Amino acid sequence: MTQSPSANPLRASDGASPRSAKGRLVTIEGLDGAGKSTLAKALASELERRGMRVALLREPGGVTLSERIRELVKDATLEVGARAEALLYAAARAELVQERIAPLLDEGALVLLDRFVDSSLAYQGAGRELGIEQVRQINLFATAGLSPDRTLLLRVAPATGRARQDGRGEEPDRLEREGDHFFEAIARAYEELARDEPARIRTIDAEQPPRRVLEQALSEIEDLLDSMNT
Ligand code: ATM
């Protein structure tokens, strides 16, 4: 997943055009209850205030097929094996990339994406024990190799994430019904991914107040924002 943006098959060929003409893909990752969607919304409004073209999307979802798949993977009444689950997330991702993300990047937008391939590596690769490399392979196919320019990993202790999730008072979905062991494996996998790719994946302590999380997130993408303005 370290392909350079200009070598990306889903982006318009760079040719002689300056790198600055292209958009950037920033993904937000972490356990449920880490505050991903709060950060995504705050980042989007701050960047729009600065006059940037920002598209905020979430996974699974963002286009009709992927929203339908979202309903399937969350449905607690369905039997879904680990392999089928990994493929459903990958299918939702393939459609979102093709219909929305690739065109937005070609138009020069900053795409803020709540979850992407790293979620599958952590949840299906580690949580479901399918193996990170196997899950990476199906996602390379699904995304045609699209890799984020930067990933903000919101680190929260599994117990804190669970407590925040419970505090929402919603009925737990199919994945949220899993035990502590599942979420601990996911948290460990995220840490490993961040250790392997420190330039791309920046970890933020998500137990800080939301304002501090936003400040750190902005500083972690400042160089990308600068590169879009030059
Ligand atoms: P959100 O609740 O963050 O929208 O994500 C939906 C669920 O799908 C979430 N469940 N929990 N807990 C994480 C899970 N998920 C995966 O297991 N693999 C993936 O590739 C993605 C994108 C999400």
> Which residue's CA is minimally distant from atom 17 of ligand 1?
123
Q: Which amino acid would we find at residue 15? A: G
Q: Quick check: is 10 in a domain?
A: no
* pLDDT score, position 163: 85
Over the chain (230 residues), the average pLDDT of each successive run of 10 is 44 36 91 95 97 97 98 95 98 98 97 98 98 98 98 94 84 86 96 98 96 98 90
| Whole-number Å distance between alpha carbons of 25 and 22 | 10
Burial-class residue 199 by CB neighbours within 10 Å (0-12, 13-18, 19+): exposed
Domain that holds residue 136: 24-222
Q: Quick check: is 96 in a domain?
A: yes
* pLDDT score, position 188: 98
Residue 161 in contact with ligand 1 by CB distance below 6 A: no
The phi and psi torsions of 206 (rounded to 5 degrees) equal -90, 10
Residue 190 in contact with ligand 1 by CB distance below 6 A: no
CATH code, domain with 147: 3.40.50.300
Residue 30 in contact with ligand 1 by CB distance below 6 A: no
> Which residue's CA is minimally distant from atom 20 of ligand 1?
120
User: What's the predicted TM-score (pTM) here?
Assistant: 0.91
Q: Quick check: is 19 in a domain?
A: no
Where do the DSSP E strands lie in 18-123?
A: 24-30, 54-58, 110-114
Residue 118 in contact with ligand 1 by CB distance below 6 A: no
The phi and psi torsions of 77 (rounded to 5 degrees) equal -90, -5
Q: Quick check: is 61 in a domain?
A: yes
Ligand 1: atom nearest CA of 116 is: 22
Residue 66 in contact with ligand 1 by CB distance below 6 A: no
Helix (H) or strand (E) holding 34: none
Q: How far apart are the first and last CA of the chain?
A: 26
Burial-class residue 7 by CB neighbours within 10 Å (0-12, 13-18, 19+): exposed
Residue 33 in contact with ligand 1 by CB distance below 6 A: no
Number of domains in the chain: 1
* pLDDT score, position 170: 84
Q: Quick check: is 30 in a domain?
A: yes
Which residues, listed in sequence order, are joined to residue 26 by a DSSP beta bridge?
112, 150
Q: Quick check: is 2 in a domain?
A: no
Q: Quick check: is 3 in a domain?
A: no
Tell which residue, 126, 145, 133, has the closest CA to residue 191: 126
Tell which residue, 8, 35, 30, 34, has the closest CA to residue 19: 8
Q: Quick check: is 56 in a domain?
A: yes
What separation in Å is there between the alpha carbon of 40 and the centre of ligand 1?
15
| Whole-number Å distance between alpha carbons of 171 and 177 | 9
